Amino acid sequence: MRRYNIFYFIGQAFTNLWRNGLMTFVSIAVLMSLLVVIGGFSLMVVNIDINLKKFGEMNEIVVFVDREASEEKIEEIGNTIKALDNIEKDSSGNVTGVTRISKSEGLRQLKQENPGVYDDITDENNPLPDKFVITYEETAKVPELDYQLRQIEGIIKVNNRLDLATGIENLKNGIMLIFVWFLIILFVVSLFIIVNTIKLSVFARKDEISIMRYVGATRSFISLPFIFEGIIIGVISSVIAYFIEWFLYAYVERMVVSDYLQMIDVLTFDDVSKYVLFGFLAIGILTGVVGSSISLGKYSNK
Amino acid sequence: MIDFKNVKKAYPNGTMALKGIDLHVDDGEFVFICGHSGAGKSTIIKLLLREERISSGELIVDDYDLSKLSNYRVPQYRRKLGVVFQDFRLFPKKTVYENVAFAMEVIGTPRRDINKRVPSILRTVNLAGKENSLPNEISGGEQQRVALARALANNPSIIIADEPTGNIDPKMSLEIMQLLLKINKLGKTVLVVTHEKGLVDYYQQRVVSLQNGRIVDDKVGGMYNEKV
Ligand SMILES: Nc1ncnc2c1ncn2[C@@H]1O[C@H](COP(=O)(O)OP(=O)(O)O)[C@@H](O)[C@H]1O
Ligand SMILES: [Mg+2]
């Protein structure tokens, strides 16, 4: 093969696409939907993972002490906790992972975080219990630690963020399972439609193809316009899908951020836009090329 | 050089189209292949074009052994051949010039070589002046000459014509035959499938008669075999 002009193939490809207008449109619409769904799903998983990681990194358990407990009792509870395994220590072995937050300290923090809301609550009518914030060393041993903490007399509640993380993780896996099936179906449908669109082009050009064969055109020369056709469908779909994803993501981002302020971290679209665009192009072009190769199949052989 | 040695061809549906063909054609020969419909004439051509593979025997064209030729090498091989069909098979939306140039484009011939060669081929087939006509603006005989020009475009050593005059009137047929002979005089091997008795008898060339998948007659300066 030598000296072929790439614009020849691209020109032929556009002619084909134009001639099969409706099928081209359907192919692009379906592939685009597939990409938007893949993108939305991946972005959701990435964001969930970031938040799971954040929970995981906190390495914190908060325990609340009975409101009736005396000062000595509270100190005794503190010492019992410090004696447990899996509590953060410094290099010389001193326990650093247990911090007591008294009920007045707790109230102060609460007032600071929500200015104006708790103004009528004072130390006299403070309903908060004392609490300990515990930093542990090994996530794997958290269930054990959790159990031990619950055994200590005077502790009324153990807030283990890992429970929440596990809950989210399970939810994520559940969603993933559903989506993977959904994606497989969408992928097969897109491929089927692209294959048929390009088959139409091949069919419309079968006389031309047969003449090309008789005069000795190579297989790649005959196939390239159709491969480009697949690539063009892929590129157009990816670019449209990118803008739709952008719009949808910005919308969801605003919703989540305003509703769960400070609780959930959400990546901005800027953080991920590169990956979304290149991911879309890669999947889009791959689907297009696989589709055209399938449609050419026997045609380019003889 | 074309060499069929005991070539048999069975189609996938079981039809035995060729039942043992032995045929040798030297470089520069002119050969008519005659026979009734269904005798196997087009099958011989499809084997030569490597559109179909032989079922058994041996088929050699110059230095290509067609029973061993890989798909990958087929395009290269086909550039040795120029082919013309009964139904012309021109592109209706391309001009005469573009139809001929197309054959050169698809094998990657540089533009300036195409621009040099196409006019000269069109002169060879007496179509100078018709460059910009579309196929539906010229006669059947002229369309077949465009097809012939296209077959010649890549300078093949063998020209194969399957019933080239089947769709055109007798006066024009004569002109096509004249051209095929002229091309033969230029040094190309020419195979012409036909069942036009008048033409075959008139030209007194080698005539190979086919019947029911077998060669029943092969005479130089022969006549159309009435029994076949
Ligand atoms: N693709 C095919 N599949 C099955 N049978 C075929 C095919 N092409 C031709 N034949 C059969 O092979 C025999 C020879 O056909 P063909 O070579 O076309 O004859 P001709 O060109 O002499 O009329 C006929 O019986 C025909 O029906
Ligand atoms: Mg025939």
Ranges of each domain in chain B: 22-40+81-219
What is the C-alpha to C-alpha distance for residues A194 and A32, in angstroms, rounded to an integer?
Answer: 12
B14 pocket-lining for ligand 1 (C-beta < 6 Å): no
B136 pocket-lining for ligand 1 (C-beta < 6 Å): no
Split at pLDDT 50, 70, 90, the class of A198 is confident
pLDDT digits (tens, 9 = 90+) for B207-223: 999 999 999 999 887 77
The single-letter code of the amino acid at A74 is I
Q: Does pLDDT of A2 surpass 50?
A: no
The domain of A121 spans: 67-153
| Domain identity same for A279 and A247 | yes
Split at pLDDT 50, 70, 90, the class of B164 is very high
Q: Nearest ligand, CA of residue B11?
A: 1
Mutate to test the interface with A, among B71, B94, B107, B157 (most CBs of A within 10 A): B107
CATH tag for B22-40+81-219 (out of 3.30.1330.40, 3.40.50.960, 3.30.70.270, 3.40.50.300): 3.40.50.300
Nearest CA-CA distance, residue B86 and chain A, Å = 14
Half-sphere exposure of B38 (CA within 13 A, CB side): 3
| Domain identity same for A47 and A186 | yes
| Domain identity same for A217 and A259 | yes
Domain count, chain A: 2
Residue A219 lies in a domain: yes
| Domain identity same for A238 and A108 | no
| Domain identity same for A248 and A170 | yes
Split at pLDDT 50, 70, 90, the class of A4 is low
Write down which residue in A113, A131, A153 finishes a domain: A153
Distances (CA, A) of A78 to A14, A62, A93, A98: 75, 12, 17, 8
Task: List, in order, residues 6 or more apart from A251 with CB less than 8 Å away.
Answer: none
What is the C-alpha to C-alpha distance for residues A215 and B108, in angstroms, rounded to an integer?
Answer: 11
Q: Return the closest-CA partner of residue B223 out of B53, B111, A241, B204.
A: B204
| Domain identity same for A196 and A141 | no
Secondary structure string (H, E, C) spanning chain B: CEEEEEEEEECCCCCEEEEEEEEEECCCCEEEEECCCCCCHHHHHHHHCCCCCCCEEEEEECCEECCCCCHHHHHHHHCCEEEEECCCCCCCCCCHHHHHHHHHHCCCCCHHHHHHHHHHHHHHCCCCCCCCCCHHHCCHHHHHHHHHHHHHCCCCCEEEEECCCCCCCHHHHHHHHHHHHHHHHCCCEEEEECCCHHHHHHHCCEEEEEECCEEEEEECCCCCCCCC
What percent of chain A has pLDDT above 70? 92
pLDDT digits (tens, 9 = 90+) for B101-139: 999 988 889 889 999 999 999 999 999 999 999 999 999
What is the C-alpha to C-alpha distance for residues A182 and B75, in angstroms, rounded to an integer?
Answer: 44
Q: Cβ of B73 under 8 Å from any chain A Cβ?
A: no
| Domain identity same for A47 and A191 | yes
Q: Cβ of B91 under 8 Å from any chain A Cβ?
A: yes
Split at pLDDT 50, 70, 90, the class of A1 is very low
Angle (nearest 5°) at CA B121 between B48 and B107: 55
| Domain identity same for A43 and A13 | yes
Q: Cβ of B70 under 8 Å from any chain A Cβ?
A: no
B15 pocket-lining for ligand 1 (C-beta < 6 Å): yes
Q: Cβ of B89 under 8 Å from any chain A Cβ?
A: yes
pTM for the model stands at 0.70
Q: Nearest ligand, CA of residue B21?
A: 1
Residue A61 lies in a domain: no
What residues pair up with A268 in beta bridges, in sequence order?
Answer: none
Tell me which residue has its CA closest to atom 4 in ligand 1. Answer: B11
Cβ contact (<8 Å) for B75 and A4?
no
pLDDT digits (tens, 9 = 90+) for A246-285: 999 988 888 776 665 556 677 888 888 889 999 999 999 9
Chain A neighbors of B72, CB-CB under 8 A: 219
Chain B neighbors of A213, CB-CB under 8 A: 75, 78
| Domain identity same for A37 and A73 | no
pLDDT averaged over every residue in chain A: 83
Nearest CA-CA distance, residue B82 and chain A, Å = 7
Residue B9 confidence (pLDDT): 97
| Domain identity same for A12 and A107 | no
B42 pocket-lining for ligand 1 (C-beta < 6 Å): yes
Mean pLDDT throughout B161-188? 92
Residue A160 lies in a domain: no
Write down which residue in A153, A182, A204 finishes a domain: A153
CA–centroid distance, residue B42 to ligand 2 (Å): 4
Q: Return the closest-CA partner of residue B150 out of B93, B104, B95.
A: B104
| Domain identity same for A148 and A283 | no
Residues with CB under 5 A from ligand 2 (ion): B 42
Residue A178 lies in a domain: yes
pLDDT digits (tens, 9 = 90+) for A48-62: 888 777 776 677 888
User: Closest chain B residue to A223 measured between Cα atoms?
Assistant: B106
pLDDT digits (tens, 9 = 90+) for B35-91: 999 999 999 999 999 999 999 999 999 999 999 999 989 999 999 999 999 999 999
Q: Nearest ligand, CA of residue B52?
A: 1
ipTM value for the complex? 0.84
Which tops the pLDDT comparison, A5 or A129?
A129
Of B72, B75, B89, the CB nearest to A211: B89
Q: Tell me the backbone φ, ψ of residue B6, rounded to 5 degrees.
A: 45, 50
Nearest CA-CA distance, residue A210 and chain B, Å = 9
B222 pocket-lining for ligand 1 (C-beta < 6 Å): no
Tell me which residue has its CA closest to atom 10 in ligand 1. Answer: B17
For residue A124, the domain's CATH number is 3.30.70
Write down which residue in A109, A129, A153 finishes a domain: A153
| Domain identity same for A92 and A186 | no
